[in-house]
Amino acid sequence: MAVDHGQVEVAAAWARVRHNLRASAGQRVFDRWLKPMELVAPDEDGVVRLTLPSAFMTDWVRNHYAERLTHEFRAQLPQVRDVVVETASALQARIVPPAALPESKPAPVATHAPIAFAAAVPQRAPAERPAFDPRYRFDRFVVSASNRVAFNAAKALAEPGVPRFSPLFLHSGTGLGKTHLMHAIGHAFLDADPAASAVYLPAERFMFEFVAAMRARDTHGFKARLRGVDLLMIDDLQFVAGKDATQEECLHTINAFMDAGKRVVIACDRSPALLEGIDPRLLSRLGGGLVADIKLPETDLRHAILAAKLAEVPGIVVPGDVLDLLAGRIRGSVRELEGALNRLIAYASLTGDTIDMAFAHATLGEMLAGPAKRVTIDDIQRAVSAHFEVKQLDLISARRAQAIARPRQVAMYLAKQLTTRSLPEIGRKFGNRDHSTVIHAVRRIEELRGIDREIDSAVRTLLRSLEG
């Protein structure tokens, strides 16, 4: 059998990379996290794949060694474009038969979601069909006011029968759950109709496949393969900005899906109105469906996410004050929050130390940099009265006019989100009101944030000013 010199070259480079990692990371870290990595036969497009036996180990290596692995491989082999770390079981589940769509390149190693394809082959048995990431299902998505509209829209789109709307356009910053929802849609859609077909791919991969088809004079084949599926999902649309030919084909593809009554999901880092370098016709088509954003997680959601993550790691104890510290200080992406918790757990397992406040500060020093701003209810009342142009005394008065009642509810909601005061304490700060009044105010503002853009915008503005 002929020797594949390319694979031999990569294997030799991998041996050198392992040697360097052992020297730089230390024997304990190397043995615990890096040594179990195995090299998979490299792709022809310059992607090196490494696998680990568990999703927890995969997340840890991605968070701590993504850039280092890429740097080490490129130092050995300049032709390497990406290094992708995946869970071995997830990679095996995505092996696509020759009749299926071409395998799509997973996102760079720093991201959480691999590429998943369900091929456009009718009447295929579910066991033969590649799987979406098993971690990303609807029942593992933590829902709150900041993401409820997007979550409900995603579930509705995945339901069998004639879709109520299409396309669905999801937008948010990095690491807030867009990819999770897209994979969850794929799971639910194929579970409901095992004979259906779906495809999920980044916009960059769409562009790569389309350009390759043009060069091969096979654009007809590209269109036929892609448009033959029942559900199309394109991630990171912002990366096709300025790519006129790709945008033109993307528009024709979406139009074809719309005309056929099929489902389309698009994800992006901003709303259609804020996209630059995108064909106005494409923006019009995307804006004509349902546009749903995912906002930064509020304090309660950050706590719920940490609790859900801990439930996946039995036997690990993280005290409540440490969880409060993480939820209070790490206010960016969900990915960053989960990464901080993963780091605590991993370091504790390596050192044998107990997780407490001192350990958390020592381990996450740079992530917790700067003193957390302590927000008081008085601060909140002043900010709310200034924003809504009402007197601060009105917020604690007995007045029930809508112009006063709504700002008062917003202030109570913010007090629940940004302070550690109990519900009765919050009620007393608002004219000795009962704790049930506070509960009603919090629930009402959560509800309004999902349907009233003005209220949501006001809350977001106040959160930024108070937490900044």
- Which two tokens mark 381? 């009342």
For residue 275, pLDDT over 50 is answered with: yes
Q: Is residue 355 part of a domain?
A: yes
Spell out the residues 6+ positions from residue 166 whose beta carbon is closer than 8 angstroms to its own.
157, 257, 258, 261, 262, 263, 264, 289
Per-residue confidence (pLDDT) for residue 141, from 0 to 100:
93
Does residue 303 share a domain with residue 272?
no
| Position with higher pLDDT, 384 vs 375 | 384
- Give the model's confidence band at 130: pLDDT under 50 very low, under 70 low, under 90 confident, else very high: very low
Q: Is residue 114 part of a domain?
A: yes
- Give the model's confidence band at 2: pLDDT under 50 very low, under 70 low, under 90 confident, else very high: very low
Most confident of 113-117, 271-275, 420-424, 434-438: 434-438
Does residue 112 share a domain with residue 85?
no
- Give the model's confidence band at 4: pLDDT under 50 very low, under 70 low, under 90 confident, else very high: low
Does residue 226 share a domain with residue 106?
yes
Q: Are 157 and 191 in contact (CB under 8 A)?
A: no
Q: Is residue 371 part of a domain?
A: no
Range of the domain at 17: 1-93
Does residue 330 share a domain with residue 445?
no
- CATH number for the domain harbouring residue 317: 1.10.8.60
Q: Return d(Cα 440, Cα 402) in angstroms, integer.
A: 15
- Give the model's confidence band at 64: pLDDT under 50 very low, under 70 low, under 90 confident, else very high: confident
Does residue 176 share a domain with residue 88?
no
For residue 206, pLDDT over 80 is answered with: yes
Q: Is residue 359 part of a domain?
A: yes
| Position with higher pLDDT, 398 vs 63 | 398
Q: Return d(Cα 448, Cα 242) in angstroms, integer.
A: 37
Q: Is residue 56 part of a domain?
A: yes
Q: Return d(Cα 213, Cα 115) in angstroms, integer.
A: 20
- Mean pLDDT throughout 258-276? 87
Provide the 3-class DSSP secondary structure of residue 346: helix
Phi-psi region of 35 (alpha: psi -120 to 50; beta: other; left: phi over 0): alpha
Does residue 101 share a domain with residue 172?
yes
Segment 214-257, tens digit of pLDDT: 888 888 888 888 888 899 999 888 888 888 888 888 888 888 88
Number of domains, the chain: 4
363, 393, 415: which is the final residue of a domain?
363
Does residue 310 share a domain with residue 291?
no
Segment 147-178, tens digit of pLDDT: 999 999 999 999 988 888 889 999 988 788 99
- CATH number for the domain harbouring residue 159: 3.40.50.300
| Position with higher pLDDT, 116 vs 57 | 57
Q: What share of the chain in percent tops pLDDT 90?
A: 19
For residue 309, pLDDT over 80 is answered with: yes
For residue 94, pLDDT over 80 is answered with: no
For residue 310, pLDDT over 70 is answered with: yes
- Mean pLDDT throughout 408-415? 93
66, 93, 120: which is the final residue of a domain?
93
Does residue 110 share a domain with residue 60?
no
For residue 115, pLDDT over 50 is answered with: no
295, 312, 327: which is the final residue of a domain?
295
Per-residue confidence (pLDDT) for residue 384, from 0 to 100:
94
Q: Is residue 445 part of a domain?
A: yes
Segment 26-35, tens digit of pLDDT: 777 787 788 8
What are the backbone dihedrals phi and psi of residue 45, each rounded to the nearest 5 degrees, phi first? -95, 20
- CATH number for the domain harbouring residue 454: 1.10.1750.10
- Mean pLDDT throughout 454-465? 86
Q: Is residue 369 part of a domain?
A: no
For residue 14, pLDDT over 70 is answered with: yes
- CATH number for the domain harbouring residue 6: 3.30.300.180
Does residue 263 share a domain with residue 200?
yes
Per-residue confidence (pLDDT) for residue 324, from 0 to 100:
87
Does residue 350 share a domain with residue 206?
no
Does residue 142 share a domain with residue 171?
yes
Among 45, 38, 42, 56, residue whose Cα is nearest residue 4: 42
For residue 23, pLDDT over 70 is answered with: yes
For residue 88, pLDDT over 80 is answered with: no
Say which range, 71-80, 84-93, 114-123, 134-143, has the weakest mean pLDDT: 114-123
Q: Is residue 318 part of a domain?
A: yes
Instruction: Write the DSSP assignment of 210-235 as a string of letters.
Output: HHHHHHTT-HHHHHHHHHTSSEEEEE
Provide the 3-class DSSP secondary structure of residue 291: strand
For residue 285, pLDDT over 80 is answered with: yes
- Mean pLDDT throughout 63-89? 81
Which residue, chain included where needed, has tokens 């040594």? 35
| Position with higher pLDDT, 447 vs 155 | 155
Mean predicted lDDT score pLDDT of the chain:
81
Does residue 224 share a domain with residue 112?
yes
Residue 38 bridge partners (DSSP)? 51
